[in-house]
């Protein structure tokens, strides 16, 4: 079950992995995948716990719905099936199927 705590932990872990990748000369493409995954988690957190950020639910349509759709369509989440499934779940929760 998603909650603020485990989403925050996932964001922290992803940021840590991104920084490790930077230290080991990751490619721009690899770093872009980390950025997309980070942004997806922020959108999921805003959906699950709207009070975490100042975005209202209707703001999600502007800030997250389009970018998350683009992440899926353009394969910007890499080959991480968990992230891909999470993006699809986010979109389904927002009524985008």
The residues spanned by each domain of the chain are 4-93
| Tens of pLDDT, residues 1-21 | 677 788 889 999 999 999 999
| Tens of pLDDT, residues 44-54 | 988 887 665 55
Classify residue 53 by its DSSP letter. Answer: S
Cβ neighbours around 5 below 10 Å, total: 9
Q: What is the rounded distance in angstroms from the CA atom of residue 40 to the CA atom of residue 15?
A: 13
pLDDT of residue 4: 76
Q: What is the rounded distance in angstroms from the CA atom of residue 30 to the CA atom of residue 93?
A: 28
Q: What is the rounded distance in angstroms from the CA atom of residue 16 to the CA atom of residue 92?
A: 29
- Contact (Cβ atoms closer than 8 angstroms) between residue 77 and residue 33: yes
Q: Which of 20-29, 37-46, 48-57 has the lowest mean pLDDT?
A: 48-57
């Amino acid at each position: 079950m998603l909650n603020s705590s485990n989403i925050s932990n996932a964001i922290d872990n992803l940021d840590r992995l991104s920084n490790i990748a930077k230290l080991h000369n990751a490619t721009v493409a690899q770093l872009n995948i980390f950025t997309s995954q980070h942004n997806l988690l922020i959108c999921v957190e805003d959906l699950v716990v709207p009070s975490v950020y100042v975005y209202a639910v209707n703001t999600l349509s502007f800030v997250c719905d389009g970018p998350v759709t683009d992440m899926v369509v353009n394969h910007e989440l890499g080959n991480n099936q968990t992230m891909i499934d999470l993006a699809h779940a986010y979109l389904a929760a927002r009524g985008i199927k």
